Amino acid sequence: MKRWRSTLPTFAIRLAGLTGRLLSALAAVAALVALFLVLIVLTDGAGSGLGAWIPTLGVGTVAALWRSRRRARAARLVPFLPVAVAAALTASVCVPTAPAARQYPSALPFVATQHWSLATGSRVAVYHYPPAGPGPRHPVPLVYLNGGPVRGISLLDHRFLQLLARQGYDVYAYEQAGGGRSDLLPMDQYTISRSVRDLAAFTDRLGRGRADILGFSAGAVVLTRALADPGVAARVHRAIIADPGPADGPTTRITGHKGRESARGLAPAPTGPRSTHVPRYAVGFGLMRLGLLTPHTGLIGQAEGDNAFTAADLGSDTASAYCARDAHRIPVEDTAQNFSFSPAASLRVQQTVKESPSIAPRLRQSRTPAMLMIAECSSQIRQWATAILAGDPAIQRTQYMPGVGHHIWNGLDDNNDRAAAVITAFLQDKPAPLPNSPTRDEIPAFLRDHE
């Protein structure tokens, strides 16, 4: 018994010493990883991260050499252990796991993918749904601008475009440069102004005179800015602005409330692989989203980032496009084979919107007949839409869409039919299926009542 008691203090001392050495090693690893992340930011990920990894390894090696100088020969390698661990952890951020050359989505089985070279230099993927069904054909082509900003058109959207075609509309859609099957641009060419010029060039390439334009989300921003440019607006017959994002710098700085409760935080987590479970893309996309890496970052090339990003990486963003009541029946919007999103190019376009001056003075000169669609459970800040309503005197009607979130045509219940009825009534200049609400005079009450 006495012998056991005498060994207890020795064991405790050894355990305390081992714990202290372990904590010291973990602290060294954490310090080197932190240094690596700081250098990633300072070098903007130069050389796929090697511009940060090599100095980090050098600092760690020098520190290990200094700590080992007074140790016995057998223990001199111990300080290098944290350096090796940190080197392995940070090296995982420097090693690509997705192809560096762009891998475009496979062809769709139900519509041909055309590629049009525009006068701006963009080469975009184009989809054409000719008018179908027994009803009358509408002579003015209808062009769809999808959200993103730089994203492929989802299968859910394709089904809605087919519905419009079955009602006699000659429907064209194109994926904006860098999105979906469209060719990439150099990163510094992704701007909101370029998107507007591409729209003008697309309508010219269409060669059908003025076109009706349906713009959704980020596509609605492109359309709104087109209406504020007389040269581009002259190509637009009628404009439908569906649940827009902020259209200029001052609007991006507006704080306010969103629509009624969305399914964000209520819906089951999306399934499927995530690039953000890989250290390289978790660090790269995370730092880009925080604004600590530029879209031009040398850490992850544009094509590699596009190839790596998956639908599951959007997380709760998808759920936020649906009403809370639909949280447990959110439809599958796309397939892994068709999904495409460019995180860096999208951030770059959003930056140029934030940096742009107010378009309000030019928008007040708009004369193109327009309609604004607002979703009941929209995840967009209400002032983004009401600023357009207040600023564009040519908006003839506003349609507040009950029972839907940001993704207005979502395939649930009769939502697609109701959205199509609103759109076709406006395009044919027929009475609106829903009340014209809110009007410009009703904006203060609409915002006050948190509609």
Note the pLDDT tens digit of each residue in 414-445. Answer: 999 999 999 999 999 999 999 999 999 999 99
pLDDT of residue 25: 76
Q: Percent of the chain beyond pLDDT 70?
A: 93
Distance CA 258, CA 333 (A): 22
What pLDDT shows up at residue 22?
A: 75
Domain 114-271+313-448 has CATH 3.40.50.1820: yes
- Using a 10 angstrom Cβ sphere, with 0-12 exposed, 13-18 middle and 19 or more buried, the burial of residue 297 is buried
Residues 6 or more apart whose CB falls under 8 angstroms from that of 102 comprise 184, 303, 306, 307
Residue 272 is predicted with a pLDDT of: 86
pLDDT in tens, 89-139: 999 999 999 999 999 999 999 999 999 999 999 999 999 999 998 888 999
Domain residue extents for the chain: 2-94, 114-271+313-448
pLDDT band at 385; cut points 50, 70, 90:
very high
- The number of CA neighbours under 13 Å toward the Cβ of 276 is 13
> Which residues, including other chains, have CB under 8 Å from residue 395's CB and lie 6 or more apart?
241, 370, 371, 372, 388, 389
* Per-residue pLDDT at 16: 56
Specify the pLDDT at position 115.
98
Each residue of 78-101: pLDDT tens digit?
778 888 999 999 999 999 999 999
**How much is the pLDDT for 5?**
54
DSSP label at residue 184: P
Confidence class of residue 12 from pLDDT cuts 50, 70 and 90? low
pLDDT at 198: 98
Average pLDDT over residues 227-256: 96
Q: How far apart are CA 305 and CA 276, in angstroms?
A: 11
DSSP state of 423: H
Q: What is the mean pLDDT of residues 210-220?
A: 98
pLDDT at res. 431: 96
Does the pLDDT value for residue 450 go beyond 80?
no
pLDDT digit string (tens) for 263-308?
A: 999 999 888 889 989 999 999 999 999 999 999 999 999 999 999 9
pLDDT at position 4, please?
46
C-alpha closest to that of 211 among 203, 220, 199: 203
User: What does the pLDDT read at residue 65?
Assistant: 84
Please enumerate, as own/partner, the contacts of 318-321 that have beta carbons within 8 Å and a separation of 24 or more.
318/267, 318/270, 319/262, 319/263, 319/264, 319/265, 319/266, 319/267, 319/270, 320/262, 320/263, 320/264, 320/379, 320/405, 320/406, 321/262, 321/379, 321/405, 321/406, 321/407, 321/410
Kindly tell me if the per-residue pLDDT of 20 is higher than 70: no
Residue for token pair 């376009």? 349
Over residues 133-166, the pLDDT tens digits come to 888 899 999 999 999 999 999 999 999 999 999 9
How high is the pLDDT of residue 427?
98
Query: What are the tens digits of pLDDT across the range 317-361?
Result: 899 999 999 999 999 999 999 999 999 999 999 999 999 999 999
